[in-house]
Amino acid sequence: VHIINELDVPIVALGLDDVVISASPEGILVSDKEQSSHIKPIVDDIEQEIMFAEKSWGSYQVLDVGEESLTIKVTLYAGNKMSVHYHQNRDEVWTVISGRGKCVIDGHERLIGVGDIVTMQANQIHSVEALTDLQMIEVQIGKDIRKEDKIKVDVQ
């Protein structure tokens, strides 16, 4: 039995032989070892949003998907920042859970730290820069939560 676990929950496997188990934020695969090489076409046909990604600037993990909300844990490494952008169809709320940063909303700058809550209404131009490693819970609220609703602003 081969088990790969990228989740923060235990996997217990009893009485199994020749099985592959792989658990990640994108899903859980359980397969007979002999059949595991045939899984790629099945997985490729599944249309699902990316639930976790590591980037050069940090990482994000989708925590919850609701009918009119999306909750994400965002980690920005010190010295990195989000692009300056706005959303036409949704509001956002950031809750800082660790670190310090500097956010800008409609040109108004403020320092943020653990416990601070930042609210952006639709069409408010915003960004955040991590002064130290910064972790936030981001809640997106609206009837139309899609990647295409993020409109980047060219800053001179």
pLDDT of residue 63: 92
Stretches in the chain below the pLDDT threshold 70: 43-44, 46-48, 156
User: Rounded to an integer, what distance in angstroms lies between the CA atom of residue 63 and that of residue 143?
Assistant: 18
pLDDT of residue 48: 61
Parallel, antiparallel, or unpaired for β 117-120 and 91-98? Answer: antiparallel
Do 89 and 22 lie in a common domain? no
Do 40 and 62 lie in a common domain? no
First-to-last alpha carbon distance for the chain, in angstroms, is 56
Do 29 and 67 lie in a common domain? no
Q: Are 133 and 108 in contact (CB under 8 A)?
A: no
- Residue 14 CB contacts under 8 Å (≥ 6 apart), including other chains: none
Do 35 and 94 lie in a common domain? no
pLDDT of residue 43: 66
What is this structure's pTM?
0.74
Domain count, the chain: 2
Do 35 and 86 lie in a common domain? no
Parallel, antiparallel, or unpaired for β 2-5 and 19-24? Answer: parallel
pLDDT of residue 47: 67
Print the domain residue range for 105: 52-152
8-state DSSP, 106: T
Do 108 and 32 lie in a common domain? no
Read off the amino acid at residue 81: K
Do 111 and 132 lie in a common domain? yes
Do 90 and 135 lie in a common domain? yes
Q: Are 127 and 85 in contact (CB under 8 A)?
A: yes
Do 84 and 22 lie in a common domain? no
User: Rounded to an integer, what distance in angstroms lies between the CA atom of residue 104 and that of residue 108?
Assistant: 5
Chain centroid to CA 99: how far?
Answer: 17
pLDDT of residue 115: 98
